[in-house]
Chains A and B, each alone.
Chain A
Amino acid sequence: MTWKRALAAALVAITLAAGALVSPAFADSNDVGNGSAQCSGGEICLYDFQESTNWTAQFWWSEWRYLWTSGSVRLWWNTTGGFYQQPHVYDRVSMVRNRDSVCNVAFYQLTNYQWGAGIGDYTLIVNDHNYWSIPSGLDPSQTPGADGISSHKRCP
Chain B
Amino acid sequence: MESIIKRAAAVLGAVVAVGSLVAVLVLAGSDHRGLTLESVDAVAAAGIDLTAEQPLDAFQATLISVASHERNLAVAACMTSAGFPQLESVQDAWFPGNPFPGLRVERGAFGPDSPTDAMRYGYMPNFLRDRGPEPPQVVSYEPEYEQALDDCVGAIRRELGSAHDDAVSDFMDLGNQLVREFGSSLSRSDEVVLAFSDWLACMSDRGYQGGTVNEYLTSMHPPSFFGVPTGKWTGSGPEHTSGDSGVEILVPDQSVYEPSWGEAQLGVADADCKIATNLWGRVFPVLMTTQSAIVNDHAGILATATSRIHDAIDAAESVRSAQQSP
Contacts and interface: CB of A to CB of B under 8 A. Distances in A.
Q: Do A and B interact with each other, yes or no?
A: yes
A59 to B, nearest CB: 9
A144 interface: no
B139 A122 contact: no
Given A62-B238, A120-B176, A124-B64, A42 B221 contact: no
A17 interface: no
A122 B165 CA distance: 20
A155 B168 contact: no
B220 interface: yes
Given A101-B90, A121-B179, A67 B186 contact: no
B183 A116 contact: yes
Contacts of B302: none
A112 interface: yes
Given A62-B238, A64-B233, A156-B98, A103 B222 contact: no
Given A41-B146, A114-B109, A156-B101, A61 B125 contact: no
Given A102-B91, A120-B176, A69 B230 contact: yes
A62 B139 CA distance: 13
Contact of B134 (A106, A124, A155): A155
Bin the interface of chain B by size: 35 or more
Contacts of A41: 138-140, 145-146, 149, 247
B259 to A, nearest CB: 11
A153 to B, nearest CB: 6
A69 B231 CA distance: 7
B255 A100 contact: no
16 contacts: A34-B140, A41-B140, A41-B146, A41-B149, A61-B137, A62-B238, A101-B87, A102-B91, A104-B97, A108-B128, A113-B221, A120-B180, A121-B102, A121-B183, A128-B71, A156-B98
Given A62-B237, A116-B184, A40 B176 contact: no
User: Could you tell me the dominant secondary structure of chain A's interface residues?
Assistant: loop
A120 B174 CA distance: 11
Interface string A135-156: 1000000000000000101111
Interface of A: 1, 4, 32, 34-36, 38, 40-43, 60-64, 67-69, 100-104, 106, 108, 110-124, 126-129, 135, 151, 153-156
B132 interface: yes
Interface string B88-116: 00110110011111100000010000000
A64 B236 CA distance: 10
B127 A156 contact: yes
Given A113-B220, A115-B217, A121-B179, A156 B99 contact: yes
A127 B224 CA distance: 33
Interface in B36-91: 64-65, 68, 71-72, 86-87, 90-91
B102 A114 contact: yes
B172 interface: yes
Contacts of B230: 68-69
B252 interface: yes
A121 B230 CA distance: 19
A79 B68 CA distance: 31
B161 to A, nearest CB: 13
Contacts of B86: 101
Contacts of B65: 104
A103 B125 CA distance: 21
B125 A113 contact: yes
B205 interface: no
A122 B231 CA distance: 21
Given A116-B183, A117-B184, A124-B172, A61 B238 contact: yes
A127 B68 contact: yes
A144 to B, nearest CB: 13
Contacts of B150: 129
Given A118-B180, A156-B127, A106 B99 contact: yes
Contact of A104 (B91, B99, B169): B99
A118 B184 contact: yes
Interface in B115-157: 123, 125-128, 132, 134-141, 145-146, 149-150, 153, 157
Given A60-B137, A153-B128, A126 B184 contact: no
